[in-house]
Chain A
């Protein structure tokens, strides 16, 4: 056995650190937070120029052909730095789907622009009445000649306000089982009938409600088969191999350690000497190690062609729940000063601990709630009967 990422992974880690050193700053981090938009044009351009836009993609597309282990190292560093990658993440997720199931025209139109950082693609899955149960989507797409007419409402379409296209899950058939009547489209956002309404969230991230009123899209923008949308969704979601929040726990730990080393109690003793503080730091370091192992296991399985069953959900479930629990612990251990907000000048460690408390709440909800992941582990991993 070998628990180290390969030497090439550590080389990539060093390269990404150097890149972040040059292109990430506290000012950018604060701008991302204050605007709630995890996307930045200058940073994106630098990623493209540095070859970090889609490092796992083959070289002929402009990627670096990195393997899953190398991608673990790259992802850990980008997330630890809280680099503005969300818009790129959704864009590349959709580009990956198009590469897998798209037409030649779609590939020619979308993939070069996505890799050049020239377009942003956002996700239109959730609806007011369809969150975890995403197959309950009711947004309708009705054929009209060579076009489709779309009517409905989507929730949590993050970055829609800067997006060029939305990867939209629609209902095209109401006569079959709910997940068999879905179709995916890549819908241009800059057109009549698309109405974007801002939604602000507890972590500071801006997202949106998007209304579709008689929005027309050419059949050429259909991704995958009619009523075959569930398959395209599955391609999108299974490409999220190494989902997990180890890097966020790392961010929490680094901030808490900085606080413990630089803050003293009333007697002038560093808080790092306090037993309760040490125990909380120790537990956070343990949860970080476990989260890393569960996440790296998924990458290793993907790299070696093993079927991933419950391992992906375990990584996401454990790391998000641990992040929430440890952020809560740390707020209590730090005491009243932990209440000072992220980027308030008076906050310890830039207020990262306070931010992690709020940020952690979303992690147990989006990309499948903890309950959805527990269902998957219970049914697919443990073989327990389906619940009703």
Chain B
């Protein structure tokens, strides 16, 4: 057992941490609202290798492990990075895994910065792909259409709903004729490919939510250690300190579990899907609760837009629920452990 990241991984954490500290300050996060996209941050992330690390050398990348990506995702979540990092990484890994001429060409264009590719966690409903993550800034969305995996170009007819987490979400028209005209990436294996990509997405989002939760606890602790009421620091009241202690405990657990799930991608593939869903469910609940506690500790100030904690509160909801709820993820854990419903 070794719970310490390797020296190379610590360097990776430092490099991305330094970038986020400079290019994803609370001020910049606010400036990027409501769209939730900072093109300077995005350009620098790509320059640092955020996309190329996600795929192997045969695709022109440097083949980082899921654990490497997860450690970066923690930094992304801590800084509330207003950039489509996780979506792009997951889409690139999916394209690399899919292979074939069309997917390889789209991957090359994505790595070159010519296209920005995302993935829809949902199937089209009533001719629309609803709330596509990064859909407001992406050029293409990968979606499953029956047993086909297709890349659908996103046109100007997309709409960008304002949303609680200030995420670059879009409702993308995807009627039959558009899907029929979309670029086919794979046929026959779409369900498995999308499901595997969703596992990646759940793990990386878990890492981001764990990082977000840890940072929210730190913000709450800083405030509680400064603020005085009834002649003492409010952090000395057990009603305050105990809630923060619970959130700190859950955050530590969420971080360990997200790292374990990412580690299992290579080291314990039989548990990959189960651990991915576990990590997501637990991190989503933890970030939800930790941001709520930290905001509440601020009293009336927590309710003011001026204080940063509200930025965390809103994104903890948005980043998680655009994929699935903690309960749905818990049922996904059961699917992985016992087989899907109907199999027993």
Binding site for B on A (CB under 8 A): 1-6, 69, 261, 270, 272-273, 275, 278-279, 281-283, 285-286, 289-290, 293-294, 296-297, 299-300, 303, 310-311, 314, 317-318, 371, 373-375, 377-379, 381-388
Q: How far in angstroms is the closest Cβ of chain B from A89?
A: 23
Q: How far in angstroms is the closest Cβ of chain B from A365?
A: 16
**B233 contacts A by Cβ under 8 Å:** yes
With a CB–CB cut-off of 8 A, which chain B residues contact A281?
334, 337-338
Is B331 a contact partner of A282 (Cβ separation < 8 A)? yes
With a CB–CB cut-off of 8 A, which chain B residues contact A377?
245, 248-249
With a CB–CB cut-off of 8 A, which chain B residues contact A285?
274, 278, 333-334, 337
A282 to B275, CA, bound (A): 11
Q: How far in angstroms is the closest Cβ of chain A from B3?
A: 5
**B119 contacts A by Cβ under 8 Å:** no
Kindly report which residue of chain B lies nearest to residue A378, judged by CB atoms: B241
Is A297 a contact partner of B3 (Cβ separation < 8 A)? yes
Interface membership of chain B positions 265-279, coded 1 if the CB is closer than 8 angstroms to chain A and 0 otherwise: 001100000110110
Q: Give which listed residue, A1, A286, A300, A384, contacts B263 with CB less than 8 A.
A: A1
Q: Give which listed residue, A286, A300, A379, A386, contacts B278 with CB less than 8 A.
A: A286
A74 to B329, CA, bound (A): 32
Kindly report which residue of chain B lies nearest to residue A289, judged by CB atoms: B278
Is B2 a contact partner of A300 (Cβ separation < 8 A)? yes
**B4 contacts A by Cβ under 8 Å:** yes
Q: How far in angstroms is the closest Cβ of chain B from A243?
A: 14
A361 to B331, CA, bound (A): 27
Is A290 a contact partner of B256 (Cβ separation < 8 A)? yes
16 contacts between A and B (CB under 8 A): A1-B2, A1-B263, A278-B334, A282-B277, A282-B281, A282-B333, A293-B256, A294-B253, A296-B1, A310-B248, A314-B248, A377-B249, A378-B245, A384-B236, A385-B233, A385-B235
Is A314 a contact partner of B249 (Cβ separation < 8 A)? yes
A384 to B278, CA, bound (A): 31
Is A282 a contact partner of B334 (Cβ separation < 8 A)? yes
A3-B267, A279-B334, A371-B242 known; A286 vs B344 contact (CB < 8 Å): no
With a CB–CB cut-off of 8 A, which chain A residues contact B264?
3
Is B330 a contact partner of A283 (Cβ separation < 8 A)? yes
Interface membership of chain B positions 324-344, coded 1 if the CB is closer than 8 angstroms to chain A and 0 otherwise: 000101111111011001101
A385 to B334, CA, bound (A): 42
B294-332 contacts to A (CB < 8 Å): 327, 329-332
A283 to B285, CA, bound (A): 11
With a CB–CB cut-off of 8 A, which chain A residues contact B189?
none
Binding site for A on B (CB under 8 A): 1-6, 9, 67, 217, 221, 224-225, 232-233, 235-238, 241-242, 244-246, 248-250, 252-254, 256-257, 259-260, 263-264, 267-268, 274-275, 277-278, 281-282, 327, 329-335, 337-338, 341-342, 344
Q: Give which listed residue, B1, B217, B236, B244, contacts A6 with CB less than 8 A.
A: B1
With a CB–CB cut-off of 8 A, which chain B residues contact A374?
238, 241-242, 245-246
Q: How far in angstroms is the closest Cβ of chain B from A3?
A: 5
Is B235 a contact partner of A384 (Cβ separation < 8 A)? yes
With a CB–CB cut-off of 8 A, which chain B residues contact A386?
236
A286-B333, A384-B236 known; A375 vs B241 contact (CB < 8 Å): yes
Is B1 a contact partner of A4 (Cβ separation < 8 A)? yes
Q: How far in angstroms is the closest Cβ of chain B from A271?
A: 9
With a CB–CB cut-off of 8 A, which chain B residues contact A318?
249-250, 253
Q: Give which listed residue, B67, B236, B275, B342, contacts A1 with CB less than 8 A.
A: B67
Q: How far in angstroms is the closest Cβ of chain B from A362?
A: 20
Is B331 a contact partner of A382 (Cβ separation < 8 A)? no
Q: Give which listed residue, B248, B268, B330, contacts A286 with CB less than 8 A.
A: B330
Q: How far in angstroms is the closest Cβ of chain A from B262?
A: 9
Kindly report which residue of chain B lies nearest to residue A294, judged by CB atoms: B253
With a CB–CB cut-off of 8 A, which chain B residues contact A378?
235, 238, 241-242, 244-245
Is A293 a contact partner of B257 (Cβ separation < 8 A)? yes
Is A1 a contact partner of B334 (Cβ separation < 8 A)? no
Is A289 a contact partner of B275 (Cβ separation < 8 A)? yes
Kindly report which residue of chain B lies nearest to residue A290, judged by CB atoms: B253
With a CB–CB cut-off of 8 A, which chain B residues contact A310?
248
A264 to B20, CA, bound (A): 53
Is B245 a contact partner of A275 (Cβ separation < 8 A)? no
With a CB–CB cut-off of 8 A, which chain A residues contact B3?
1, 3, 297, 300
Q: Give which listed residue, A5, A272, A286, A314, contacts B281 with CB less than 8 A.
A: A286
With a CB–CB cut-off of 8 A, which chain B residues contact A293?
253, 256-257, 260
Is A385 a contact partner of B244 (Cβ separation < 8 A)? no
Q: Give which listed residue, A297, A373, A384, contacts B244 with CB less than 8 A.
A: A384
A330 to B103, CA, bound (A): 46
A69 to B3, CA, bound (A): 12
With a CB–CB cut-off of 8 A, which chain B residues contact A275?
331, 341
With a CB–CB cut-off of 8 A, which chain A residues contact B249?
294, 314, 317-318, 377
Is B245 a contact partner of A300 (Cβ separation < 8 A)? no
Q: Give which listed residue, B224, B248, B257, contacts A381 with CB less than 8 A.
A: B248
A281-B337, A384-B236 known; A294 vs B242 contact (CB < 8 Å): no
With a CB–CB cut-off of 8 A, which chain B residues contact A5?
1
Q: How far in angstroms is the closest Cβ of chain A from B335?
A: 8
With a CB–CB cut-off of 8 A, which chain B residues contact A388?
232, 236
Is A1 a contact partner of B221 (Cβ separation < 8 A)? no
Q: How far in angstroms is the closest Cβ of chain B from A313?
A: 8
Kindly report which residue of chain A lies nearest to residue B252, judged by CB atoms: A314
Is A2 a contact partner of B1 (Cβ separation < 8 A)? yes
Most buried by A among B5, B249, B256, B338: B249
